[in-house]
Amino acid sequence: MLLEASSALSLVSPQKEALNPLFSSVSSAFPPNPSLRFSSPKNDNGLVVCASKNANNSPLTGVIFAPFEEVKKELDLVPTMPQLSLARHKFTDDCEAAINEQINVEYNVSYVYHAMFAYFDRDNVALKGLAKFFKESSEEEREHAEKLMEYQNKRGGKVKLQSILMPLSEFDHTEKGDALYAMELTLSLEKLTNEKLLNLHKVANKNNDVQLADFVESKYLHEQVEAIKKISEYVAQLRRVGQGHVDEWLDLIISQRDSVFWAANVLFVEFTEGTEPGPLYGDQGYFIRHLPTKSSPLLSCRRLRLRKTNMDSDAHRIL
């Protein structure tokens, strides 16, 4: 680098361009170079060093940043028509279209979850915990869509909302039960959403849009993996419970989050069903076949009592 830059160093005098006697030894050792010019400044205290390649002192590439020269190209690209975005920069049409497609995916999934909320909130279904879960899930998916819309506007794109298909209104299933069927459907929807997000990320990489790729990774992909894991656990627990009052069991797990309280070393969960159950299976009013905990259940008429032993983490509690 130093050898390459040595031929570009010239010592320029504001008065004249005669060779300085101080550098006579240098000139004798090296052949004269027309681009090297040495002179004494006005005050005779030193030499003025100027990095230049030729006689007109134009700067070397990468040595001096000339913003007003380099910005001319971008200045010519600033749109003057009012209908064009001023913020758009390095944002391709493919990325814009892919974001609009993902917005439609998020709204469609939100619509399905909203239909599930309405189903489980019916008076003849009355699984309030599941209804609350799907209502919150619907709101979360809508927030995802709105976040994508905000990003689209931030990058200078145009949001184009597409049509939303009408979802199912009935989610009953005689073989699996309503809760297991709904959770398996939810798991499939979350995996489908994850696939669509990966496709959006692929479009961003294909178009060298690092900012869009980072946005999808940080705001969506990590969260999507967590959602798939949570729903997978619900499905696995429902399958382990088996056929029977499985719907009420999951509804209890979800709905009792706020009504479970600790008293000394005992966990109490209030029930709404009535009579003394049989051993473990509880087919006389309690609707739990077996419990997702290592504790031994002590059942009473209107209250389930679980001892706190071996319940070190939330994963072992029916919360």
Report d(CA 213, CA 219) in Å as an integer.
Answer: 10
Report d(CA 222, CA 220) in Å as an integer.
Answer: 6
* 316 annotated as belonging to a binding site for a ligand: no
* 144 annotated as belonging to a binding site for a ligand: yes
Report d(CA 251, CA 234) in Å as an integer.
Answer: 11
* Nearest residue to 254 via CA among 113, 133, 107, 91: 133
* 190 annotated as belonging to a binding site for a ligand: yes
Report d(CA 318, CA 220) in Å as an integer.
Answer: 28
* Nearest residue to 189 via CA among 151, 138, 236, 153: 138
For residue 5, CA distances in Å to 51, 62, 93 come to: 8, 12, 44
What's the DSSP call for residue 276? P
Q: In 3-state terms, the chain is what percent helix, strand and coil (to 5)?
A: 50, 5, 45
* 141 annotated as belonging to a binding site for a ligand: yes
Structure tokens at 95: 């990325």
Cβ-contact 203, 95 below 8 angstroms? yes
Report d(CA 249, CA 75) in Å as an integer.
Answer: 65
* 162 annotated as belonging to a binding site for a ligand: no
List residues forming the annotated binding site for Fe cation: 106, 141, 144, 190, 224
Q: Known binding site: residues?
A: 106, 141, 144, 190, 224
